[in-house]
Structure 1
Amino acid sequence: MGKIVGRDALISAIEALLGEAVGGHGATVVLRGEPGIGKTVLLEHAVHSGRERGMRVLRVTGVQAEGQIPYAGLDQLLRPVRTAAVGAGSPYRRAVDVLGLLGEADEPVLLAVEDAHWLDAETWETLTFLGRRVGSDQIAVLMAVRDGEDVDRRLAAAGMPELRLDPLPAADAGILLDRHAPDLVATLRARVLDEAAGNPLGVVELGSAAARFGGPALLPSSLPLSARVERTFAGLVAELPPLTRDLLLLAALNDGSSLDEIRAAGAILTGAEVPTEAIQPAVTSRLVTVDEQYELRFRHPLLRSALRQQAAPGDRRRMHAALAEVLGDSPIRRLWHRASAVPGRDEALARELTVLAADAVQRQTVAFALAAANRAVQLSEDPAERARRQIWAVHAAHEQGDPQTARRILTEIDDRELRAPDRVRVVFMRDHYFPGVSNGPERLPAYAGMIRTMLDGGDPDMAVQAMCDIALGVHYSNAPAHIREQLVDAALALGLDEDSPRLTAILGLIAPVEQGAVVLERLRRFVHRTDIPPTWRADLTVAAWAVGAFEIAATIGLASATDLRHQGRIGTLSVSLNAAAAAHASLGDTRSALPLAAESIALATEIGQRTWVLGGILITAQAEALRGDTESARRRAAEAEQALSSARRFPMLSLVQRARGLAALAEGHAEDAFRQLLRVFDPADTAYFPHQHLHLLGHLAEAAVLGGLLDELRPVAEQLEPVAERSQSPALRVGLGYARAVLTGDYETALADDLTDWPFDRARLQLTYGSVLRRSFRISESRPLLRAAATTFDALGATPWADRARAELRASGETRRKPMDTLDALTPQEQQIARLAAEGLSNREIGERLFLSPRTVSTHLYRIYPKVNVRSRAELARVITAGLSVA
């Protein structure tokens, strides 16, 4: 390749990227800039350099026409390798499969993606997810994108490093022009440089046109440069034979690059066989290339764009119809070309697209489902059906995490065309996406009425989904009892079987006290059932946490997470992990809670679930406080408080106070801890939240006994006695048992309860009672309790509590050495990998669980072993098992 003018720094960065990948340190870089700025040239340089380094090069070009076909780009990218190894499922599941596939050959790989902004959404998500996980793989990902607002949003979500291409300096632009049009007169040369403004493609194409046609080739100067270069390309195409022009337009409109496919469509248009040689004039003119597999590539994307834009609408429709006819073995591609060939509305085709959209949701290609639904709306003849399809499109946008599209569609719906239940659905969705002053707890009775209207209109499935959607919001609304009763009545009117997991989840969130006993009894039946869909089990996990059944929440949450990981449902997986992490933290198990919370935050951040990111931050703060990392816990609590206060989500401030109270307890500041936690129990406080009373009484009671505040604890505990009786909440039962013990001094009764699933609370009782016995000079009786407490707290990673137990033992005359905790040297992700490896999972199995490549897992283990002073999986398992044993 000839030297690329003016791009030395960018070339060095690309060479470094390739070199790192060859050395086993993969990375992803996005080349970004305006059309014609040189992205294609740099991408070609990377391809050439990668091959010289012995890298396997896989490449794909995004095409507008294929932007709606799910995984069209990925399929083309992987065509040279064994695509059978890439299974079905979500983009995230496929990304892990691709990492495994590319790692099997044990050779460095370059994924070169041109016009990535035109990739279908599923391919984009797959590649960007993959690109963030190639750190330990021999994979370089180089993606070229144009500037634009849509690209800004995509890249902001992708979070990948960028290399921006700026216009060439004047001197470099002059060198480039002289290389391609050396004989221009000075005035024309200056004009070309002025018009091109440092854009390399503009310099080359406008300079070449000026050399051939003189000054008129540069008119009109008012056109944007990209439009002028497109016009130049169009002029080159105009010189070609008519059949060649038709083939180029077919190629521009096609969602594939097969020359044989294009020739077959050309034969339908002309009624005669089209020879391969018919494309040769375009190859000779350097407009396209055709490789040995007969794959056609445009020399520059602007040529494809010029052909599409300048073709008459009738010609485009004829081309789409011809392509549809040759794609009989590819139903989705065929349907899209048929839809593009229709000149007006077509209700039958709209119905086909609606069915296809529904199927796409089941196949987890939500972006494609949204595109199909939108096109079905455009083709709809029946106004009522059009409105229903728009509503469906809003749901598809919601599933994709695309609030902008959802809001746009909601503003386009004509309410006059809606049936009564559909009108209710639209009002419900507008309340969600356009919240106003009337969207607080006072709006909840209206929701109950809306759900009944959906039922009366014969739409029970949507009514159930609507109730599921609002349940968590109701939980955190501090709604008064009479409103919760109305919503419970609406839930019971849904017609669900009383053993329905969905009804159980709804009731557990809406009314954890009033319906707690019923919900708990059903949860115990559901806990080990594997026939419940994992998305429903995720809802059950949140409900189990809400009612204080933490052990059940942890069990169901981890079980559902396994299936959700396999399916690649990252959105629901982040929710399930969040609830499981909250359950473990509420059980005092910091070692399990922190890795789960870290993964939940990472996945929620990945797809923009800000609410669950905040939830994960607060769970992390809770676990860090228990571990003794109080500075970090307070910092996270303050971060969450700012976000929640600005959004006026005051009940969730109870979780901020939980973290602050535990941090104060960890530091031994008992009175401060009591005051922080008591805010959650004070109706006059912004952090007041009765549902958290089920969870926090044990911590409040501990702060009271340590701070000498039992008189203030007593009325709180007394008020919660009937709540415990009604709700049967396990967490409140355990908390009340501790509170009664410290208020009455009867620790024996509390310890006689079955606390097998509550090791932290059992150890807290042992520590408190052991301390009382030691201070009463019953030394021999205190020591077994204090030893057991220290052992349990150490195993859970609750270091400040373990230190208190050891201090009490020292005061009793017995010294107990603090164990070396090698696991604390590991990051949360390393801890998770270490645990899975200790369980006997292979690198591939660990990678499938955590959306990592086997090579990345191997690299992590290579770093983990010396940190914990082991040399094998067997030794690691012994260390992990020793750390997890709880007395």
Structure 2
Amino acid sequence: MLGAPHPSRDREAAGRHGYPVLVERDREAAVLSGLAREVAAGMPGLVLVEGPVGIGKSALLDRLADEARDAGTQVLKARCTPLELDLPFGMVRQLFGGSLSGPGRPVPGDIPPDWQRLGLDPDALPGGADPAADVPHGTLLALYHSLCRMAMDHPLTVIVDDAHHADPASVRFLSCLARRLSGVPVLLALSRRTDTGVHTPQLDEIAAQSLCHSLRPRLLSDDGVAQLVRHMTGSGDDKEIPSDSLAVAGGNPLLVTTLVTALGPGDWPSATAGPADMDGRHVAVLREQVLRLLRRQSATTYAAVQAMAVLGEGAPPQTYARLARLDTPVFVQAVLALGSSGLVSATPDGRNWSFTHRLVRDAVLSDIPPEQRAERHRHSARLLLDNGASAKRVAEHLRMAPEPVTDSWLVAVLREAAREALLHNDPRRAIDLLKLCLSEDPDPAADAQVLFELGMAEAGVDVHASIRHLRLAADHLKDPQLRLTALTSVADGMLRAYRAPRTLRSQTAPRHHAVDDSDEPAMLREALRLLDSTTDPHSLRAEADNGHSLDLPGDTPGERAVLAMRAAIAVAWSRRVPEARAAARRVITRGIPACDSPTFVLSAATTLLFADRPDEAEPVFSQVRDASSHPDGPSQAAGMYAEASRRLGAFGEALATTGMILDPAPREHAQQLTALPAAVRVHTLLDQGDVAGAAATAVHAVPLPGMHTWQWDEYLCAQGRLDLEQGDPESALRDLLACGRSRRQWGSNPASSSWWFWAGKAHLARGDTLRARDHAEEAVAVARAADLPCALGMGLELLAASHDDRGAELPLLEEAVAALETSAAPLERARVRVAYGTALHTAGHTKDARSVLRRALETAYELGARGLYQQAHQALLATGARPRRPMMSGLGSLTPSELQVARQAAAGLSNLEIAELLFVTQRTVELHLTSVYRKLGVSGRRQLYTALEGARAERTTRKHGRGGAAGSAGAGAASEPRR
């Protein structure tokens, strides 16, 4: 009951509303009543009711729903079941009363009419997205805003019972809603079981929020059990119930209710121990009582109940009877007899029966020997198939008899069910089904089609198994298109795995003979062999020494794949870089998204990036990232996109991209996928002068045992640079030289990694000019020969800084500035100009020094590089100049972050949506918009679009401008750097 002083009122309410009487739940009831009143008054609330099965969670939430309605709030309620786990947004559909079942129906709360576009398609998410990982963030925000609009009309109570059974997409929505309750008159009430052994991280995060009230109802005391029994039996006292029998119930309300319903007082068993939780001895006690009752029935009745337990609900009586080997009328009479025991209930029309609780069915199944149970499941599958049941239901019974199937009809059913599972974004179920079609040692020739389907299903779950199965199938598939699909998927998998399985080494030994250009599968196999070589430094060097032709026209997917890999290998070792760059451009310009593997397109874009052409690589990385269908594919392309953006000086874009990868990744789950984004983010924050932010980011990358990848090397480079910025050159050299030793095994390209530049700076910090000069001279020699302008400029700057002859410093820096004039590297250009301007001033060329330093100052401000800005500012003051105050109005006065926020606001996004998109707080967005309005002289969002019309053209000019254009586009347009 909700309050001890009013038992009669509570019993009346329970009877009226259909939930069980609540006993010894005063504290929980008080909390829920208080929350119901608070939400009615316009305050937010969050509560999580936790406990084992049968503890009374649903009854508490039912009572909360009644009190919320009595308080005048709207109530949305859903009860999750395991059957909805593969239905995207199944729980959300329940909340909205079924109005999301199809387009054209009225939707409460003004749900956007394009909800199907947002991902609430009745059958699946758009594009086959995985609801566990790929739910568009805009979908979650749209649902959240819809609830907010409902709550603005009337306070809202959202109740989700058994949230642990909610589908992944709905769980993400609950997490999204719980994080944004502040200021919204919504009470979110959830319940979950604690005895399943499965933990949902998003529900754990909800429970950890400061707003959340956690309620954990306790087991009933002996007095509570007696009170519940009196209520159920209508008895005025409990003398007829022995005290030791009360202990058998253990205080769990469900067990008490089940035992009282199924057994008379004389049948109560004795107990020799105290209460235990429901997931242990109580389940055994309940099973014992259920089986004890059933064994009193006739053999016919027991056979009928076993058939029901094996087949499950929803089958026609004839099917149950055939499985039980009974006549249909005999089966019906047996089930009617069971109905009087309280273990089985019938629908109103009497056509279907079901167990009153899942634990009852589990008890029956546990009494059937495993061999007999497996045989009956196979028999059930045959019976259901004959009756026209769906492949999904038939396959479920085959899964319960986990032995490989040999009959062709069984294989056909399992494959059909697997295809259906994939359509509903459940690859794990598809994998389980397809594995039943194969023996422990499958025959690739006979099982090629099944191996192909299994490998495709495994692509997003177990990449190594996917590669193994697709390779087995590829040579035996009769359809050429399927062979191409298999080989392309192997390439994607190898990229996502970062290293090929050891078993592939024997298949990928270096080849020196030519490949037949007309044999498309052979070309793809050659591309896979080259891709595999990139996972081993010795194989990679051998392929580079082979001097493969880069003259393929790239007219077919196979040719483009081979061309992309040959170009990437050549650039890694700084061999024929102009030819490799041209080959990569052919791959990209002639590629067809529907035919070409993203793996090889990504390789071509990486070639351009490491050939010092980040402006050409950036849009390709962006396209691959947006088009990737694999869960971890976007992270790989996004990491490279962030690096290209950083090199182009687009720090805001680099931080936003890396934030989307790193923010959801717990530190203990960091791996290869987060090493590169973490490195890029550390470099970017250091470029901006944010040493504290870089140090906080560094904890995201944690090495895995045996981790040896170039992504991890790049993280070591970033960590070494961070140590250098923190004044610890010794630690910096330890990480930077470790990175260098590893990178030298993978190539000699100074544009692929800046470890050598920062190692040289660390040597200079220690006074070791000789070693710094060695790094610089090596990089300059390679960069000159390979036409790597950015690496050349950086190397010349380091060489000038390490030169003992100050007279040679100016020519080196002049050459560095000239090299960077044609590069798309504004930050490096500004850094070299600071060094050049300082050297000019030291040599007595004050006027020229001021001109160079002013351009460096302007570029540093435009990029938001606060540290470099301060260096340029101090150097300019040292020349006696007085840097003029920049414009405080107009487009040129906007910082990159302000311009980014202004564009989103002009496009119609709210402050909250902008904050979510850019990974900043709403307060930050508000401050940026206030500054934008003041600088542009506008009063609101409506005038922003007109004011920003010329922004894109101006920014494009700045981005692609060379020399003075890139450096002076923002001349006079800067104030003090943002803090």
Q: CA deviation at 1:814?
A: 2.8
Give the SS at the match of 2:572.
Answer: coil
Structure 2 partner of 1:752: 818
Q: Please tell me the residue identity of whatever aligns with 1:750.
A: A
Question: Per the alignment, do residues 591 and 348 of structure 1 end up closer, same or farther by CA in structure 2, a change over 3 Å counting?
Answer: same
Structure 1 partner of 2:221: 170
Question: Per the alignment, do residues 169 and 156 of structure 1 end up closer, same or farther by CA in structure 2, a change over 3 Å counting?
Answer: same
Structure 2 partner of 1:811: 878
Q: Summarize the alignment of residues 668-707 of structure 1 with structure 2, pairs less than 5 Å apart.
A: 675=733, 679=737, 683=741, 694-696=752-754, 697=756, 699=758
Q: CA deviation at 1:447?
A: 6.0
CA distance in 1: counterparts of 2:58 and 2:677, whole angstroms: 41
Deviations 1:463-502 (A, max 9, x none): 589669857744xx6877237668989xx9x997565257
Deviations 1:28-69 (A, max 9, x none): 8765543333344345445555655644535243236x7678
Q: Please tell me the residue identity of whatever aligns with 1:206.
A: L
Q: Which runs of 5+ in 2 are unaligned?
A: 1-12, 15-20, 103-115, 209-213, 478-486, 890-895, 959-968, 971-979
Task: Decide which moves more: 508-517 or 224-233.
Answer: 508-517
CA distance in 2: counterparts of 1:684 and 1:11, whole angstroms: 63
Residue 175 of structure 2, aligned match among 123, 132, 135: 132
Residue 615 of structure 1, aligned match among 671, 676, 681: 676
Give the SS at the match of 1:353.
Answer: helix
Deviations 1:335-374 (A, max 9, x none): 6468569996433432453466467658754334323323
Give the SS at the match of 1:59.
Answer: strand
CA distance in 1: counterparts of 2:295 and 2:176, whole angstroms: 46
Structure 2 partner of 1:229: 286
Answer yes or no: is 1:550 the counterpart of 2:614.
yes
Give the SS at the match of 1:93.
Answer: coil
Structure 1 partner of 2:81: 62
Q: Report the RMSD for the aligned CA atoms in angstroms.
A: 6.3
Structure 1 partner of 2:100: 82
The 8 Å contact of residues 320 and 338 in structure 1, kept in 2 or not, is answered as yes
The 8 Å contact of residues 834 and 876 in structure 1, kept in 2 or not, is answered as no
Question: Per the alignment, do residues 666 and 118 of structure 1 end up closer, same or farther by CA in structure 2, a change over 3 Å counting?
Answer: closer
Answer yes or no: is 1:36 the counterpart of 2:95.
no
CA distance in 1: counterparts of 2:749 and 2:873, whole angstroms: 34
Give the SS at the match of 1:132.
Answer: helix
Deviations 1:102-127 (A, max 9, x none): 744732577755556566xxxx3212
Q: Taking every aligned residue pair, what percent have the same amino acid on both sides?
A: 16
The 8 Å contact of residues 350 and 379 in structure 1, kept in 2 or not, is answered as no
Q: Summarize the alignment of residues 292-691 of structure 1 with structure 2, pairs less than 5 Å apart.
A: 300-303=357-360, 305-306=362-363, 313=373, 333=392, 336=395, 339=398, 345-351=406-412, 353-354=414-415, 357=418, 364-377=425-438, 393=454, 396-397=457-458, 399-400=460-461, 446=506, 448-449=508-509, 470=532, 473-474=535-536, 481-482=541-542, 497=557, 499-501=559-561, 504=564, 508=568, 512-513=572-573, 514=575, 517-525=578-586, 531-532=592-593, 535-536=598-599, 537=601, 544-545=608-609, 548-564=612-628, 569-603=630-664, 610-637=671-698, 640=701, 643-644=702-703, 647-649=706-708, 654-663=713-722, 666=725, 675=733, 679=737, 683=741
CA distance in 2: counterparts of 1:835 and 1:37, whole angstroms: 53
Structure 2 partner of 1:203: 256
Q: Please tell me the residue identity of whatever aligns with 1:195.
A: V
The 8 Å contact of residues 81 and 162 in structure 2, kept in 1 or not, is answered as yes
Structure 2 partner of 1:826: none
Give the SS at the match of 1:97.
Answer: helix
Deviations 1:500-534 (A, max 9, x none): 25762686279622475554324434557884269
The 8 Å contact of residues 29 and 141 in structure 1, kept in 2 or not, is answered as yes
Question: Per the alignment, do residues 786 and 296 of structure 1 end up closer, same or farther by CA in structure 2, a change over 3 Å counting?
Answer: farther
The 8 Å contact of residues 628 and 663 in structure 1, kept in 2 or not, is answered as no
CA distance in 1: counterparts of 2:736 and 2:904, whole angstroms: 42
Task: Decide which moves more: 135-144 or 677-686.
Answer: 677-686
CA distance in 1: counterparts of 2:309 and 2:79, whole angstroms: 15
Task: Decide which moves more: 220-229 or 657-666.
Answer: 220-229
CA distance in 1: counterparts of 2:899 and 2:170, whole angstroms: 25
Question: Per the alignment, do residues 220 and 741 of structure 1 end up closer, same or farther by CA in structure 2, a change over 3 Å counting?
Answer: closer
Residue 777 of structure 2, aligned match among 713, 718, 730: 718
Q: CA deviation at 1:389?
A: 5.0
Q: CA deviation at 1:622?
A: 1.7
Question: Per the alignment, do residues 496 and 701 of structure 1 end up closer, same or farther by CA in structure 2, a change over 3 Å counting?
Answer: farther
Deviations 1:180-230 (A, max 9, x none): 455675694432442233333223323555544433498999993224335
Give the SS at the match of 2:99.
Answer: coil
Give the SS at the match of 1:582.
Answer: helix
Structure 2 partner of 1:142: 190
CA distance in 1: counterparts of 2:135 and 2:24, whole angstroms: 41
Question: Per the alignment, do residues 248 and 730 of structure 1 end up closer, same or farther by CA in structure 2, a change over 3 Å counting?
Answer: farther
Q: Please tell me the residue identity of whatever aligns with 2:753.
A: H
Q: CA deviation at 1:788?
A: 1.9
CA distance in 1: counterparts of 2:855 and 2:930, whole angstroms: 30
Q: Please tell me the residue identity of whatever aligns with 1:655.
A: E
Structure 2 partner of 1:825: none
Q: CA deviation at 1:807?
A: 0.8
The 8 Å contact of residues 347 and 353 in structure 2, kept in 1 or not, is answered as yes
Q: Please tell me the residue identity of whatever aligns with 2:676.
A: G
Question: Per the alignment, do residues 543 and 579 of structure 1 end up closer, same or farther by CA in structure 2, a change over 3 Å counting?
Answer: same
Deviations 1:523-565 (A, max 9, x none): 434557884269445565556555554333432222333444x
Question: Per the alignment, do residues 688 and 284 of structure 1 end up closer, same or farther by CA in structure 2, a change over 3 Å counting?
Answer: same
Structure with max Cα Rg:
2
The 8 Å contact of residues 158 and 187 in structure 2, kept in 1 or not, is answered as yes
Q: CA deviation at 1:321?
A: 5.9
The 8 Å contact of residues 309 and 365 in structure 2, kept in 1 or not, is answered as no
Question: Per the alignment, do residues 808 and 694 of structure 1 end up closer, same or farther by CA in structure 2, a change over 3 Å counting?
Answer: same
Q: Please tell me the residue identity of whatever aligns with 2:195.
A: D
Q: CA deviation at 1:768?
A: 1.2
Question: Per the alignment, do residues 188 and 686 of structure 1 end up closer, same or farther by CA in structure 2, a change over 3 Å counting?
Answer: farther
Residue 831 of structure 2, aligned match among 744, 747, 764: 764
Deviations 1:287-325 (A, max 9, x none): 669799x99997644345456656885776676667667
CA distance in 2: counterparts of 1:755 and 1:551, whole angstroms: 12
What is the TM-score with the length of structure 1 in the denominator? 0.72
CA distance in 2: counterparts of 1:582 and 1:866, whole angstroms: 31
The 8 Å contact of residues 790 and 802 in structure 1, kept in 2 or not, is answered as yes
CA distance in 2: counterparts of 1:774 and 1:296, whole angstroms: 93
CA distance in 2: counterparts of 1:725 and 1:676, whole angstroms: 28
Structure 1 partner of 2:863: 796
Q: Please tell me the residue identity of whatever aligns with 2:542.
A: H
Q: Please tell me the residue identity of whatever aligns with 1:581.
A: A
Give the SS at the match of 2:78.
Answer: strand
The 8 Å contact of residues 516 and 547 in structure 1, kept in 2 or not, is answered as yes
The 8 Å contact of residues 29 and 160 in structure 1, kept in 2 or not, is answered as no
Q: Please tell me the residue identity of whatever aligns with 1:80.
A: G
The 8 Å contact of residues 600 and 613 in structure 1, kept in 2 or not, is answered as yes
* Higher helix residue share: 1
Give the SS at the match of 2:593.
Answer: coil
